[in-house]
Amino acid sequence: MKKLKYITSLIIGAATLFSCDLMDSIDNIQPEYQLEEGNYITTPKSAEQALNGIYQGWRAWGISPFRAHISVLSGSLNAGQGISGIEGFATNEVETDNIAIRDFYTANYSIINSANYLIEALGAGKAVGIDSVRNVEIIGECKFHRALAHFMLLRQFGQFYDESSPYGIVLRQEPYRPDSPITARDNVVDSYSSILQDLTDASSTAPEFVYMHDRISRLTAKALKAKVLLYKKDYPEAAALAQEVLNEAANYGYSLELGDWSQLFSQHYLHPETLFAPYTSGTTESCSISIDRTIVGSYTTSLATQWAAKAGIGADLRYTTTFQSTTSLSGNGKYPYATSYPSGSGNGYIFMRLTEVYLIHAEAEARQGANHYAAARASLKVITDRAGYPAELVDQIGDEELLEAIRQHKWIELAAETGEEWFDLVRYTANGDLAFETIKSTLTQAWQFILPIPQKALSGNKLLKQNPEYE
């Protein structure tokens, strides 16, 4: 019988599969162990174990440390010593043989392939005795993970800001097997279509309610879909869906809580604002991050200082909570367990939270013109109010300054979290709203908007074309 690739992550967890020693192109990844095809999903329990392996993939080595790299790419953070593969990120000149982009590329495709195997097995009825409703829910969860991984890859390696571009990503809708043909990358339009279709399906078939937010719900899928629509520049749809998420959030226990902002990050997946954060606990189940080896960037400091001065407050609490130390992020408010693991706590991070949905809604409304400014201001005001700004601050922002104000508050709010400050630099510049070299002097050319396809991926797929200027 044929041997399967990637199945290690389904049964024994992602840690082994995502080991640095196993990284290669998506068409040539060999796990340490292999299982006979057809016998890895046979019961409801094995299906749940397989799903757990996919969730574990989001805290894997190739993905976890990479948020430090994205923050350095934007200048939100500056790199210290000892960050693997950080070379070229500070100067926006990353090479094709960089280990960090290789591991990130491979880890995301591993999640995609694991999701594809589980979708196929459940669709074929392999999990004998599984409840029919749960069978559909797991497939919905898998489609969310496949969409998120494809979106992560598109933003880093595809020209996501230009729908006319042929430089999308290699889409995988079926498991990769030894006899699977290699394929060229799809264009940006098709990449978005695939991602959005998966999220549409997940929005109606994933679990409607989850007790802890280390698992995704239909609301999580809707929130991510609103984000993808924003990137795609479908602003009316993005605004409408973001508003739908905000309207429904309280019905499922999601909320923005006033008070100690840092509690969000010490509780991560347990906090009601969190839409998705991987489960972490203690030292054995944690995200491997490099944030504690960075320091805050000067632009981040200047934004927080300027807005605090404009509002007449002492300091932006989001900034002071995140960057309690001026020399390191070790022990800060967002990653309180960066260097230690108190009993019962985990070193984790949040992929998406409700605050970002307010900011998605604010930007999507603002981009539709004057008739939508009031709605944009209303969502931005929720964020600034919680940050301790005077109630009248948002009303004092001029219409012509509103879009940029949303970007700046999003930068301060999400600094060192998900890399949104970098992707906003790219999107705003591509839209003609910003000159990114005014924020980071090493950004001077459009080819720097995205990273190169890793050399190992090119070596394993002769149809895969490199991004412009990296040839």
Is a pLDDT exceeding 60 seen at residue 7? no
**Structure confidence at residue 429 (pLDDT):** 96
C-alpha span between 329 and 306 (Å, rounded): 22
Question: Do 86 and 100 meet the contact criterion of CB atoms below 8 Å apart?
Answer: yes
Q: What is the pLDDT of residues 355-390, one digit of tens each?
A: 999 999 999 999 999 999 999 999 999 999 999 999
Q: What is the mean pLDDT of residues 396-421?
A: 96
Is a pLDDT exceeding 70 seen at residue 340? no
Is a pLDDT exceeding 60 seen at residue 60? yes
**Structure confidence at residue 259 (pLDDT):** 65
- pLDDT tier for residue 235 given thresholds of 50, 70 and 90: very high
**Structure confidence at residue 257 (pLDDT):** 76
Q: What is the mean pLDDT of residues 276-299?
A: 85
Q: What is the pLDDT of residues 77-88, one digit of tens each?
A: 999 888 999 999
Is a pLDDT exceeding 50 seen at residue 3? no
Share of the chain above pLDDT 90, in %: 73
Is a pLDDT exceeding 80 seen at residue 331? no
Low-confidence winner among 12-16, 189-193, 266-270 (lowest mean pLDDT):
12-16
Please name every residue paired with 36 in a beta bridge, in sequence order, or none if there are none: 3
Q: What is the pLDDT of residues 18-35, one digit of tens each?
A: 333 323 333 343 333 333
Instruction: Please give the angle made by the CA atoms of 136, 348 and 448, to the nearest 5 degrees.
Output: 90
- pLDDT tier for residue 75 given thresholds of 50, 70 and 90: very high
Is a pLDDT exceeding 50 seen at residue 15? no
C-alpha span between 150 and 164 (Å, rounded): 18
Q: What is the pLDDT of residues 448-458, one digit of tens each?
A: 999 999 999 99
Question: Do 380 and 272 meet the contact criterion of CB atoms below 8 Å apart?
Answer: no
Higher-pLDDT residue of 330, 233: 233
Share of the chain above pLDDT 70, in %: 87
- pLDDT tier for residue 258 given thresholds of 50, 70 and 90: low
In this structure, the chain runs to a length of: 471
Is a pLDDT exceeding 90 seen at residue 14? no
At 365, is the secondary structure helix, strand, or coil? Answer: helix
Averaged pLDDT score across all residues of the chain = 88
**Structure confidence at residue 21 (pLDDT):** 31
**Structure confidence at residue 173 (pLDDT):** 94
- pLDDT tier for residue 424 given thresholds of 50, 70 and 90: very high
- pLDDT tier for residue 133 given thresholds of 50, 70 and 90: very high
**Structure confidence at residue 38 (pLDDT):** 46
Low-confidence winner among 12-16, 162-166, 312-316 (lowest mean pLDDT):
12-16
C-alpha span between 274 and 350 (Å, rounded): 7
Q: Quick one: 156 exposed, middle or buried, by C-beta within 10 A (0-12, 13-18, 19+)? A: buried
Could you give phi then psi for residue 342, rounded to 5 degrees?
A: -60, 155
Q: What is the pLDDT of residues 381-401, one digit of tens each?
A: 999 999 999 989 999 999 999
Q: What is the pLDDT of residues 182-224, one digit of tens each?
A: 999 999 999 999 999 999 999 999 999 998 999 999 999 999 9
Q: What burial letters (b/e) apply to 86-122, b meaning 16+ CB within 10 Å?
A: bbbbbebebebebbbbbbbbbbbbbbbbbbbbbbebb
Q: What is the mean pLDDT of residues 142-166?
A: 98
75's torsion region: left (phi>0), alpha (psi -120 to 50) or beta?
Answer: left
Q: What is the mean pLDDT of residues 106-114?
A: 96
Q: At a CB cut-off of 8 Å and minimum separation 6, what does 339 contact?
A: 292, 330, 331
Q: What residue has token string 């409408």? A: 240
**Structure confidence at residue 343 (pLDDT):** 63
**Structure confidence at residue 266 (pLDDT):** 83
